[in-house]
Chains A and B, each alone.
Chain A
Amino acid sequence: MVALYPYITISWLVPAFPLLGFLVTGLAKNRLKNNQAGIIASAMVSISFLISVFVFFALRASGQELVTVTLFNWISAGSLKIPFAFLIDNLSVTMMLIVTGVGALIHIYSIGYMHGDERVNSFFAQMNLFTFSMLLLVMGANYLILFIGWEGVGFCSYLLIGFWFKNPVFNYAARKAFVMNRIGDLGFILGIILLFFTFKSVSFTEVFSQAVSLHSGAPMITLITLLLLVGAVGKSAQIPLYTWLPDAMAGPTPVSALIHAATMVTAGIYMIARSGILYNLAPLTMNIMVILGLATAILAAVIGLRQNDIKKVLAYSTVSQLGYMFLALGLGAYSTAVFHLTTHAFFKALLFLGAGSIIHAMGGEQDIRKMGGLRKKMPVTYLTFLAATLAISGIPPFSGFFSKDLILSKAFENNPLLFILALGGALITCFYMFRLLYLVFFGSQRLSTAHPHESPRVMTIPLIILSILSVFGGFLNIPSLFGGKSGFSEFLSSTVRSKVTTELSFSTESGLITGSLILLIVVILLAYRTYVKKAAVPVADGVPTSFLSKTITNKFYIDEFYHAVIEKPFGFLSDFFFNKVENKILDPIVDEVGILTSKLGNLARKLQQGNMSFYFFAMVAGILLFIIFILIV
């Protein structure tokens, strides 16, 4: 076999190609016709994917745990030395494969979905920039490069969520996402500064090698991990900063797929998994993560029960699934979290692209109450959507089963109560996903004006590929119970230091799985009975319902709460400062300075009469005065 190892340095090409695509499609956006931008952008990300695959094999062949590819010296000031370097190890290679692989499929899909949009070229430029930022994020060898990517995805998400900026609601959603991310970013940058303050370095390898010598629960490390957690909470949409993600579906559907599946929200999970060594030293932060994750998982799932917008349901399910990942992270099962991230990337991208296909077919309609009976009209979309639904619900042998079951069993190892709560969330997930499936695809068509049709092949082929991944993705990590070797966890174990816990006995584990399976099937049957047998359709807006269901439909009034408690007072304060302080105090003072200067100038102007003799006289008088001054003093 040819020695692949020396060629691993070409990994810098992985982010370079999307950047190139961004430059080409962005600069030539007025010249590219029809699908050219889409084809260029998709090709760039696909090439990145191929290089990622190559890097994956090169890394395996090298037999090394990690390879650092240094491009150039970026910052060098005193003791602060930060090279612009990429860290290639099993974790970053996994993330690279997910980002470029799923990203490429979404790009290809977008060619069909965005066909005919007037700003399609800008769209692909922004998508490529988004992918580039995410790649920078997962490949950076230190926290600062990670932070560049971190800010990059935040900015690109703002652009893409507000892509149809003529609609003020969408614009508001984009700003909301940006501001909420900013809150998290503040915590994150403070965390990085503290890291540098403590370890005198921001490079992963140096920080982690020094951190090992610290004792568990040191206040500094707890503070650092908490601040980093604030960043992750903002980016990965956990309580209390989750409300931006459901609104983020204002953007075109492929953008939602990219944000929810491959990029952006996975950044927080990746960052914490990467910093696992630090988190292992901070039990307090871990406990907070467990509580946050579980609360988010259940709250979002409950809200998802009553949403009628197809993308909103999926958005809340993302928040909920991210909660599970946080739960796994909090339990110290980092590789499990990354595994769930991987399978989730497959099936959530599939769900969103499927939803896009449905919306496309329904002529822009997103309300599931108006759909129905699409099974016959859109067989490919139906089958792929079904695969994704089964996967997210955790039905064996679909991919979601393996990852979610692993999280549940980790929860059981720690505390049976956690297991029960997490299982409850999973059952709710299963219910609302099947509610969605039945309402959209079964029964009769409720909107007579629409003429649903199957989407073009450029859209269905990515769906089919993703559905294959969703179905079989779980086999990457077959637990020992089913005679597997947990290959994925083993693969990551060299990079991600998961906490070692006592494994459950096979009998307990199989008992848990059987129990949860029975419950899942009961829930599916319940959903079937309600939405197919009785053909119940969720009530229209404005119809009075019970207090509880109204509260859930309105998302527990969290948005209203934030609006009243944070936005309103803040706006009031801004108004006060603008109208009273700025206009009444600061502006007049500044004006006064200007007026004084011009008055003095008017005075001095009188000297400049243009009278030559006077100038001479002034000059001589000045010189004389000067001489006299020197002689006297």
Chain B
Amino acid sequence: MQEISSAIQLIPLENYVFLSVALFSIGMMGVLFRRNTIAILMCLELMFNSVNLLLTAFSAYHSDPAGQVFVFFIMIVAAAEVAVGLSIVVMMKRNVDSVDINLLNRLKW
């Protein structure tokens, strides 16, 4: 544990922040502009993981394990979300033979 922490600390904190901002922005852009539902789900995962990376980095720099505990929580939530999300995609494929997100606007009231 101690070695991992010190390994993380070899790279300056700013670099982690820049990387995760970049990942987060890529993810967000993907969510906003892609139409393929699977791609959107993947972008969502990307956003999750950018946040995880940031949490881990800060946790290591502050020697506070709480941040890493959060990461585990987020992973569990993400896993559940993927399970639900992918099953929605499967149902979409079966019903309308497409995974285009814009087809979902038919669900409105």
Q: Which residues of A contact B (CB under 8 A)?
A: 608-613, 616-617, 620
The size class of the interface chain B forms with chain A is: 10 to 19
A616 x B104 contact (CB < 8 A): no
A321 → B minimal CB distance (Å): 74
Chain B residues contacting A613 (CB-CB under 8 Å) are 32-33, 35, 101-102
Q: Which residues of B contact A (CB under 8 A)?
A: 28, 31-33, 35, 101-102, 104-108
A610 x B101 contact (CB < 8 A): no
User: With A617-B32, A620-B28, A620-B32 in contact, is A612–B104 under 8 Å at CB?
Assistant: yes
A612 x B32 contact (CB < 8 A): no
Could you jot down 15 A-B contacts, CB within 8 Å? A608-B108, A609-B108, A610-B104, A610-B106, A610-B108, A611-B105, A612-B102, A612-B105, A613-B32, A613-B35, A613-B101, A616-B31, A616-B32, A620-B28, A620-B32
B6 → A minimal CB distance (Å): 34
B32 x A610 contact (CB < 8 A): no
Identify whether the interface residues of A are mostly helix, strand, loop, or mixed: helix
A611 x B102 contact (CB < 8 A): yes
Chain B residues contacting A611 (CB-CB under 8 Å) are 102, 105
Chain A residues contacting B102 (CB-CB under 8 Å) are 611-613
Complex alpha-carbon distance, A609 and B105, angstroms: 7
Chain B residues contacting A616 (CB-CB under 8 Å) are 31-32
Complex alpha-carbon distance, A174 and B69, angstroms: 78
Complex alpha-carbon distance, A613 and B105, angstroms: 10
Chain A residues contacting B101 (CB-CB under 8 Å) are 612-613
Complex alpha-carbon distance, A617 and B35, angstroms: 13
Complex alpha-carbon distance, A613 and B28, angstroms: 11
Complex alpha-carbon distance, A288 and B32, angstroms: 88
Residue from the set B28, B32, B107 with the largest chain A CB neighbour count within 10 Å: B32
Chain A residues contacting B107 (CB-CB under 8 Å) are 610
Known contacts A610-B106, A613-B101, A620-B28; 11 further A-B pairs (Cβ under 8 A): A608-B108, A610-B104, A610-B105, A610-B108, A611-B105, A612-B101, A613-B32, A613-B35, A616-B31, A616-B32, A617-B32
Chain A residues contacting B105 (CB-CB under 8 Å) are 609-612
Residue of B nearest to A611 (CB): B105
6 smallest beta-carbon distances between A and B, as pairs: A610-B108, A610-B105, A612-B101, A611-B105, A616-B32, A612-B104
Chain A residues contacting B33 (CB-CB under 8 Å) are 613
